[in-house]
Amino acid sequence: MSVRILNEAEASEHAALLKCRRCPALRHQFAKLRMTYPGFWNLPVVPSGPSTAPLLIVGLAPGLHGANRTGVPFEGDASGNLLQAALERLNLVGQVRITNVLKCLPRQNKPTTAELNRCHGYIEQELIDFTGQGGRAIFAVGRVAHERVLKALGFKQSAFAFAHGAVHELPGPLWLIDTYHCSRYNTQTGRITPAMFEAALSCAASLAVASLALMQAIS
């Protein structure tokens, strides 16, 4: 699988993120990874997909052999394969925006609260841009993504409890749809199946399209 190549506009838009030094330990980890995996992306992973998409998919963090390898969120590992298969079946490939709340590969695949807090400004700005461009629905892949999206939008966690398949109507208007994370562990233990994941994603896509059509009709 090839490694992502940013065009000039993308490189300019995400220059600050690509040069980010907020988490010295994660930057140091990249230096080691470049020696072990010289063909990998080994940088903060920037969002993919059209900036004007009505649906934003928000995950947790890049995986070592997933986004950290390819430079594309949810591409290259088991989680990415499950998501990409669902996008293909729902005819959503190239029609959604995809990102993570933590932009860099976490150590031992376990993001810390401190790392999430230092990275939080990026997802905040992405959500400002998303809603400003007319985005209407957010698909939160996992509890941490759900919590970080609510924090970035300024809403109380207690008002919108996380649950697989939960649909939250937020002021905006904006929809937040939850799913268990599509990690290899969750799929192997049966916590989530491809059918469960696809059903939640289909709901999110339907709400995004319907809400966008309604707003366009009103305007």
Total structural domains in the chain? 1
Residue 124 lies in a domain: yes
Residue 111 lies in a domain: yes
Residue 2 lies in a domain: no
Residue 3 lies in a domain: no
Burial class (CB in 10 A: 0-12, 13-18, 19+), 85: middle
Q: Could you tell me which of 113, 141, 122, 161 has the C-alpha nearest to residue 55? A: 141
What's the confidence (pLDDT) of residue 214?
A: 47
Q: Taking the model in full, what pTM does it have?
A: 0.95
CA dist., res. 17 & res. 200, Å (int): 30
Flag residues of the chain having pLDDT under 70. 211-219
Instruction: Print the domain residue range for 92.
Output: 8-218
Residue 92's contacts (CB-CB under 8 Å, 6 or more residues apart) are: 55, 86, 201, 205
- Using the structure block, give the residue that is written with the tokens 């506009």: 9
What's the confidence (pLDDT) of residue 173?
A: 83
CA dist., res. 59 & res. 92, Å (int): 17
pLDDT tens digit string along 146-158?
999 999 999 999 9
What's the confidence (pLDDT) of residue 123?
A: 98
What's the confidence (pLDDT) of residue 172?
A: 79
CA dist., res. 76 & res. 66, Å (int): 4
CATH of the domain at 163: 3.40.470.10
